[in-house]
Every structure is written in structure tokens, then in C-alpha cells.
Amino acid sequence: MDEKQLVSQALSAALDGALGVDQIAAIIEKPKSSDLGDLAFPAFQLAKTLRKAPQAIAAELAEKIDASGFEKVVAVGPYVNFFLDKNATASGVIHEILTAGEHYGDENIGAGGNVPIDMSAPNIAKPFSIGHLRSTVIGDSIAKIYEKLGYQPIKINHLGDWGKQFGLLITAYKKYGDEATITANPIDELLKLYVQINAEAKEDPAVDEEGREWFLKMEQGDEEALRIWKWFSDVSLIEFNRIYGKLGVTFDHFMGESFYSDKMDAIVEDLENKNLLHESKGALIVDLEKYNLNPALIKKTDGATLYITRDLATAVYRKNTFNFVKSLYVVGGEQTNHFKQLKAVLKEAGYDWSDDMVHVPFGMVTQGGKKFSTRKGHVVKLEMALDEAVERAEKQIDEKNPNLANKEEVAKQVGVGAVKFYDLKTDRNNGYDFDLDEMVSFEGETGPYVQYAHARIQSILRKANRPVNLDNLELKISDAEAWEIVKYLKDFPMIVKRAADNYEPSVIAKYAISLAQAFNKYYAHVRVLEDNAELDSRLALISATATVLKEALRLLGVAAPENM
């Protein structure tokens, strides 16, 4: 039974059922300091019913409660504070972790339900920049978290490979492009063309119109337009897959916007049949006034489709194909209005499953406080940043452990892990400034700090050379630092659920930092390998800590090296 339930049952019995177990559990708190206890019940809610001061109620309850399942129960002002039985709690938690291993915290909440996750989605013919990192690693982490809770995540890379920008790029290629130059260095050369043509289109409406015409040709199946577009796509995917390999991120489906180009007529026809399409200045719109939203533009005056048209077709396809229980879109916060419109149009069309579609927004990555912009050519390539992070990690490993056997592999795990961890520890809706110095530091609230704590535990366990034997092990928790670790370990399953409920990997990243800090504090105060009656308890405690640290890092897509 979980401790909150234990406390709630003891209180409900003492109150002769005046408050139910669930009512009590909902208001149980954690004291600010562990010196005050592990859980606390505020007596304020009973003051009106019992017509007594909260302090008096707390004092009476502390006397009346059956404290046999606790170390002690005391009244502190208007609170009844409960001190858990440390040895019994630690024994239960550590036995569970060491028995379950990496499956500690697993649940079957999802019962195998499909959860498509729209993530990463870089634009072809453009560099994979730092700006694409967030959607990629947040989506990948959410997939791992949901899988742990019994769902079936389906990671979809909805590549940006359709739209007017490709019409403009074809225009640039026809005007200035050279096939041999692009083949030799595709992404850089295509970026140059893209920046140049956007600057021209801004000044000259005729250039912009030419781009529109080429995109319309793409939509109408023009052979030359599709041949050039396909070439751009193929060379881009080679580059992208190399970067995904470095990140350790895989996908179940690469379905770009172009995949839905032949599925849009059906959704437009459906909207028309339901009398939802209205003409406005030659374009087709859906009125969303009752949702307090601007009209959704479905088709332009020239008949060209838009982002929302493709997303409507995408949503219907995903429901028909995957019969999802949830459909997640890990897309930047600037697209919030777009997803509100998307869901509203689907709702108007009678697709009530649109309620199960969730936009998972995130804040922006900047550098030196400046926003990245492909159009203006202000881009920092992610691959270069990852390579530099690995170099910095290797340099620090050289200083700390020059004889490390698999130094290059560990440097990759630490460098790439540092970049991913830093992104994921940031509250999803907040942005952050990309700073490799801070990311790859072995000190502070970083990925390498957590990885190092795990590696240190593995080193201690190797030195002990003594397997942790759970049979007949009576755990002894005799110091406050060990008890802090036990409480963190106990919370891990709840942390995983909270991260899933809020689509928020930072909950797990911050937890991993706190657990690593608690271990380092313990390690500084306790001689773990001292041979006495508590040695087996100490080894069991740190072994359980390493197991949970490794699993927390895995859920973030970060490796946990055995040596550093």
C-alpha cells in the first residue's frame, strides 16, 4: 500500500469516517522539511464541522491515531505529521526496485492503445538546425514514457516536404542552380538558394508569383516539378538520417506532408458536403466564429492547398489507420492557433475524436538571445553542435580519467546526452539559450552530472565485488541522507505518471538531478564500503539508486555509462 493511503486510512479510522480515505488523500501534504515528518494532514478543513481550533483537532488526532504502522505521529500546530517507518519503507522500495530492475515504475494504464506522435518534422532542402532539436527529443522522450505506461507510441516524422517554399526553391534552382554543385554539397547549396530567392521574392512580387506557379505545378503532377522536388527530398533524407543516428532517435514512419497530397480532395469534398465551406474573396474558408477563432482558410483563390488542408487529411488518415486513443503533435508554441483551428474544423465536421488530439507546444531555442531563421540564413547546424559537444566531453574525460578504455564511445554518450538532457530539463513551454559550455559541464544541473553519479555507483559496486543478496536482507536506514534517497526512489513511479499526464519530460530530468544530488550528499557523509552490519544495506541502496538513475536517463533518451 502506498504511504499516502496508509496515512489516509489511519486518519479516517480516527475520525470515525467523518472524512473518507479519498477525501483525506486529496489534502495530504509533504512538510517543507523532513525534520517535521514525511507526510502531513492539515486540520483546517475540520474546524467548521467539529467547531474546534485546528491546533486542538490536530493534538486530539495525534493522540487517537493508531501509530503502529509509523515511526511516530505528532501534532505540529494545526498539522498532524507522520513519520514513516524508515526500515520497513526502505525495505519495500528497494526490494521492489532490485526485483523489477528497469521495469520499476512500469504500468499498463494505456492497455496497448495507439498514440501517434508527430515529432521532429524538419523541412527538406534545409539544414537540420538546433531549432529542430526540441521537437525531436521531446517527442522521443514522451514516446518512451508512454511506452513505459503501457501505450503503443507510433513516432511519425511529418517532414516538411510540400508547400509554396518548394515552388520558390525550384524557381531559384532554375535561375541560379547547378546540379553538380548541389550534388557535392546539397544542404548548404540549397540553403544558399533558399535565402537568395526569399530575399528576391520579398522585393519582387513576380518572383513570389513564379514560386506559387511552380508549387501549383507540383500539386498538378507536373513531371519536371516533381522530379526536382524528389531530388531535393532524397538528398535531404541522407543528411537527416545521419543526424538521427547521432541522436539515437528512430521513427516508425516517415510520412511527410507530400504523403497526403492525394488525400486532400476527399477532406475538402467532405467539408463541402457538410455545408461547412464558404467562399470568401474567391478562397474557401470554414467559419469558426463560435470557437472565437478566425476563419480557417482551406483553399486559396488559385486552388492551392494550405498547411491546414494537409493537416486535416493527416488527422483523418491517422485515425483511420491507427485508431488512436491519443494523437500528439509535438510542435512549437507559435503554432497554437493553427492547432485550435484544426481541431475546431474537425469538430465542426462531426469528428468527435478530435478531442483526443493534443498539441504539445514548446518554447524556442535561441543563441545569444537571437531567434534562428532559415530565410535570413541565421542557422546553427545541429550536427556541428553535437560534434563539438562530444569533443568537449572527451577533453573533460581526458582530464578526469585519461586511461578510460572506451573513451570515444563514452564521450559520444556524454556529449550528445548533455545536449539532449539540457533541452529536456527545461520546462517544455519555456525557451532556452543554446550554450555548450553550460550543457557539457560535469558540475551543476546537467546530464553529465547525473551520468557521473551513475558511473560512480557502478565503480563502488565493482570495488565491493559483493553481489546484493535480497534473500533475508533486513535493510537498516540509520542516517538522514539515506532516507532522502529512499523517499526519492519511492516517488519514481509517480514521477513517470506526472511526466506523462503533463507531456513534460522535464519532470523526469529534474527528478534525476535531485536523485543524483541526494546520492552525492549521501556519498560525502557515509563510508559506503566500510565493512560492518550495514554494508549490505548500503550496497542495496546505491544499487537501487543506480537502477533508477539509469531508467530515468533512458526515458530521456540519454545513455548511462558504467565508467566515466
Residues 223-254: tens digit of each pLDDT: 999 999 999 999 888 889 999 999 999 999 98
- pLDDT by residue (tens digit) across 402-459? 999 899 999 999 999 999 999 999 999 999 999 999 999 999 999 999 999 999 999 9
**DSSP states of 423-446:** HHHS-TTS-EE--HHHHT-SSSSS
Average pLDDT over residues 506-523: 98
Q: Does the pTM exceed 0.75?
A: yes
- Domain of residue 30, CATH code: 3.30.1360.70
Average pLDDT over residues 132-145: 97
The yes-or-no verdict on residue 369 having pLDDT over 80 is: no
For residues 289 and 218, what is the distance between their CA atoms, to the nearest angstrom? Answer: 33
How do the residues of the chain divide into helix, strand and coil, expressed in percent and rounded to 5? Answer: 60, 10, 30
Total domain count, the chain: 2
The yes-or-no verdict on residue 373 having pLDDT over 80 is: no
- pLDDT by residue (tens digit) across 72-101? 999 999 999 999 999 989 999 999 999 999
The yes-or-no verdict on residue 261 having pLDDT over 90 is: no
- Check residue 3 and give its pLDDT: 84
Which strand (E) or helix (H) includes residue 219?
Answer: helix 205-219
- pLDDT by residue (tens digit) across 280-309? 999 999 999 999 999 999 998 877 778 899
Say if 346 falls within a structural domain. Answer: no
- Check residue 375 and give its pLDDT: 53
Q: Are strands 79-84 and 39-42 parallel, antiparallel or unpaired?
A: antiparallel
- Check residue 440 and give its pLDDT: 95
- pLDDT by residue (tens digit) across 185-196? 888 899 899 989
Of the residues 84, 112, 131, the one at which a domain ends: 84
- Check residue 454 and give its pLDDT: 98
- Mean of per-residue pLDDT scores for the chain: 93
Which strand (E) or helix (H) includes residue 153?
Answer: strand 152-157
- pLDDT by residue (tens digit) across 322-347? 999 999 999 999 999 999 999 999 99
- Residue 160 forms beta bridges with which residues? 123
Q: Are 163 and 212 in contact (CB under 8 A)?
A: no
SS3 of 258-324: the string is HHHCCCHHHHHHHHHHCCCEEEECCEEEECCHHHCCCCEEEECCCCCECHHHHHHHHHHHHHHHHCC
Strands lying side by side in the sheet with 365-367: 370-371, 365-367, 432-433
C-alpha cell at 400: 578526469
Alpha-carbon distance values, 270 to 275, 277, 342, 348, 408 (Å): 9, 9, 15, 11, 56
The yes-or-no verdict on residue 472 having pLDDT over 80 is: no
Say if 313 falls within a structural domain. Answer: no
Percent of the residues in the chain that have a pLDDT greater than 90, as a whole number: 77
For residues 537 and 551, what is the distance between their CA atoms, to the nearest angstrom? Answer: 21
The confidence band for 467, taking pLDDT boundaries of 50, 70 and 90, is confident
Average pLDDT over residues 468-472: 80
The confidence band for 102, taking pLDDT boundaries of 50, 70 and 90, is very high
In angstroms, how far apart are the furthest CA atoms of the chain?
87
The confidence band for 49, taking pLDDT boundaries of 50, 70 and 90, is confident
Of the residues 52, 84, 116, the one at which a domain ends: 84
Say if 305 falls within a structural domain. Answer: no
The yes-or-no verdict on residue 377 having pLDDT over 70 is: no
The yes-or-no verdict on residue 376 having pLDDT over 60 is: no
**Non-local CB neighbours of 433 within 8 Å, separated by 6+ positions:** 365, 366, 367, 368, 369
- Check residue 306 and give its pLDDT: 83
Location of C-alpha cell 522539511: 33
Say if 229 falls within a structural domain. Answer: no
- pLDDT by residue (tens digit) across 519-559? 999 999 999 999 888 999 999 999 999 999 999 999 999 99
| Helices then strands, each counted (H, E), the chain | 21, 14
- Check residue 221 and give its pLDDT: 92
Say if 190 falls within a structural domain. Answer: no
Alpha-carbon distance values, 154 to 265, 325, 452 (Å): 26, 12, 32
- Residue 364 forms beta bridges with which residues? none
The yes-or-no verdict on residue 219 having pLDDT over 90 is: no
The yes-or-no verdict on residue 374 having pLDDT over 70 is: no
Which three-class secondary structure state does DSSP give residue 190? helix
The confidence band for 19, taking pLDDT boundaries of 50, 70 and 90, is confident
Say if 227 falls within a structural domain. Answer: no
Long-range contacts of 222-229, Cβ-Cβ distance < 8 Å, separation of 24 or more: 225/167, 225/170, 228/170, 228/173, 229/161, 229/166, 229/170, 229/258
The yes-or-no verdict on residue 214 having pLDDT over 90 is: yes
For residues 446 and 417, what is the distance between their CA atoms, to the nearest angstrom? Answer: 9
Distance of CA 561 to the CA centre of its chain: 21
The yes-or-no verdict on residue 469 having pLDDT over 90 is: no
The confidence band for 372, taking pLDDT boundaries of 50, 70 and 90, is low
- Domain of residue 409, CATH code: 1.10.730.10
Say if 479 falls within a structural domain. Answer: yes
Say if 70 falls within a structural domain. Answer: yes
Of the residues 84, 107, 123, the one at which a domain ends: 84
For residues 501 and 510, what is the distance between their CA atoms, to the nearest angstrom? Answer: 16
Q: Tell me which residue range forms the domain holding 8.
A: 3-84
- Check residue 378 and give its pLDDT: 58
